[in-house]
Structure 1
């Protein structure tokens, strides 16, 4: 088998009403999705998504004509492209999808098959009043969720803590509560100060009183030593690493024991190939691996396969904050919208590959760009 072509298609879903992401002051009025298709001479096509694929253009020839099962080789090339141009890790996901289809196995079994399901925590994305967040939390309980995550981003962190207080009062011990401080990275236009160690410590101590399960990204993602100091000073678990792009970041964090929970996303930072190595590393040191999954439904599926294949963590992130962030919006290019079962588990598909079932009608409706490179330099682009 050999790779004969790489196809990239871009789609755009209008959001009305807009999604008001906690980490972005501008309401999001559209949701972009890029899908990469890897074609072979045996008629099998792998599918991946989760990032914009910026940087691949002009480098497709490095994959065409190659054996798709040479995954370590391909991951190294993608890493080289990442260093020079941009993140193309959805290509790694598409190749894993292809390998699963070629072998007749779901990807999670190729990765280790530790289990086929994990409890999903409802990962919320909006800033709403304490009363509204508590009401939504009760709906999560009714739906079968066993845990949820609350985003911080009020101007005064005391207002964020009030939201956690309201939720804890409403749900009691029916839900584990995680908190995302969103201090690890910034949007391009964000020049406000991030928390320092003392602020992070004060917040962590307040959240301990509310029995919060973990505190995510309380400090900038490069402050490995300060995260380790914070972790030593509090009993609450410290999580992070979702946007650390390089494996050696995780090597250094593991060395100084920065985190209790490591969250690299296969669609953003290393693909399945590289992130599996990070998971093995940090779990070997006693930490948990629970990937960030906030891209789209295909990125969520890819992270699910790796997590159920190897993770010791009891929970996996499930981006979900209806009505503004629903399954229908997140998974609009997929025919089957992902959802937990009645017991709160997200179950990996048993079909070969990643289990992606695309919605052909939605693809036709929302496609805005199409680019293909194949053998003999056959290239075309439509917009």
Structure 2
């Protein structure tokens, strides 16, 4: 090396589009998805190491790249603070933070889960479905999930009527009995840009909760708008269900409000969307100190999933973590198309992390070259 301490020499950001045939009819999106976008961030140091991250598109980052090039890649606390400031000015820059942690792990020769605290190298996954299927098909999907060893399944509400949602949930419960824990994502915390429907009120959410209680649902996710602190606290007091949320909450003070108002039993921030690796490591400590569960949202691609796995296994004590899985429309091959080896569970639903440095991932450069739509380099 030219110097004792390596320095960040270059940042590459590429955008990719995977054609989806058949399309993916995401339950939270009225427009079926015919392409799956992915942004890949590569951070290089002058010793030849490369860290990778993924998540938001990183638009607007050109104004801030100079804050990282030439700096010490191991100064993760400094980078986290700068990225937090950028997050206020220019969207969500956290894919860069994932790449910086991957790079730091490669420089140190240590996996990220150990850098996070080293609590464990494995965590059990729950299958997270994404398609509104006919009740009979939902039941078949649930039986498939159980056969693969998953301990739990999350289904999405949002069909034409709540009656349709309850029918699908009942079909799943009848099919699997007590073999699976069931979660329900109400998708009321945020909206797609074109969706102007109002979120549920507390009374509406409580009516749904009463029906979910009858089906022994493990948690009720995002039943209210993400900022309705008083509503969440009231709902939580009124139901026996665990209440989950926070997947798109962006800043630490907002999470502190959720904690202070005793809004949630389960906190679900995604490292690719909120606070980054260091920020969520600290939040996980605060959440667990209050007797709550920290287990992230992971609905992105395999790089973001891996980052959340390292974070949660290393820094928290979650009973399980989200695993996006609803084949054929949402297969692990589609989700992880940028990786040489898709992330998958073992026969009992466990995800085990290796001792490979950083995130332990390898990009499929041939696939990325074939799907690339644009590239930016900052040096």
Check whether TM > 0.5: yes
**Corresponding residue SS for 1:12:** strand
- Choose the corresponding residue for 1:297, options 302, 317, 337: 302
Report what 1:208 is aligned to. Answer: 213
CA positional deviation for 1:350: 2.2
2:3 corresponding residue in structure 1: none
Instruction: Provide the rounded CA distance (Å) in 2 between the counterparts of 1:156 and 1:363.
Output: 40
Number of residue pairs matched by the alignment: 374
Distance in 1 between residues matched to 2:198 and 2:51, nearest whole Å: 42
Is the counterpart of residue 105 in structure 1 residue 84 in structure 2? no
Partner of 1:198: 203
Aligned to 1:350: 355
Kept in 2: contact 1:55–1:82 (CA 8 A): no
Q: Shift in Å at residue 142 of structure 1?
A: 1.1
Q: Alpha-carbon deviation of 1:117?
A: 1.1
2:60 is the counterpart of 1:55: yes
1:154-190 per-residue CA deviation (whole Å, 9 max, x = no partner) reads 1311211111100000001111101000000001111
Q: Distance in 1 between matches of 2:355 and 2:107?
A: 14
The 1-side partners of 2:138 and 2:343 are apart by 22
Deviations 1:134-157 (A, max 9, x none): 011101111111111000111311
Deviations 1:333-362 (A, max 9, x none): 000101101111111232100111111211
Per-residue displacement from partner, 1:37-58 (whole Å, max 9, x unpaired)?
1111111111100221123112
Q: 2:73 aligns with which of 68, 89, 110?
A: 68
SS in 2 for 1:305: helix
- Is 1:238 aligned to 2:243, yes or no? yes
| SS across alignment from 1:57 | helix
Residue-by-residue CA offset, 1:190-235 (whole Å, 9 max, x unaligned):
1112111011111111111111100000000000121111111111
Gapped regions of structure 1 (runs ≥ 5): 375-383
State how far apart, in whole Å, the 1-side matches of 2:109 and 2:77 are. 21
Task: Give the secondary-structure state (helix, strand or coil) at the position aligned to 1:370.
Answer: strand
Contact 1:55 1:81 in 2 (8 A): no
Aligned to 1:333: 338
Q: Quote the Cα distance in structure 2 between the aligned partners of 1:334 and 1:73.
A: 29
Q: Distance in 2 between matches of 1:102 and 1:326?
A: 33
CA distance in 1, matches of 2:67, 2:159: 46
Q: Check conservation: 1:55, 1:87, Cα contact below 8 A.
A: no
RMSD (CA atoms): 0.8
Tell me the alpha carbon deviations over residues 52-89 of structure 1, each in whole angstroms, 9 at most, x when there is no partner: 11231121110011001111111111111111111110
**Aligned residue among 162, 171, 174 for 2:167:** 162
Quote the Cα distance in structure 2 between the aligned partners of 1:275 and 1:324. 31
Distance 2:281 2:189 in 1: 22
Tell me which residue corresponds to 1:77. 82
TM-score (normalised: structure 1) = 0.96
**Would you say 1:229 and 2:226 are equivalent positions?**
no
After superposition, the C-alpha distances for 1:219-264 in whole angstroms (9 at most, x for unaligned) are 0000012111111111110000000000100011111111000000
Alpha-carbon distance in 2 for matches of 1:55, 1:224: 31
Residue in 2 that maps onto 1:381: none
**Where do 4+ consecutive residues of structure 1 move more than 3 Å?**
none
1:51, 1:295 within 8 Å by CA — same for their partners in 2? no
Partner of 1:378: none
Point out where structure 2 has 5 or more consecutive residues left out of the alignment: 1-5
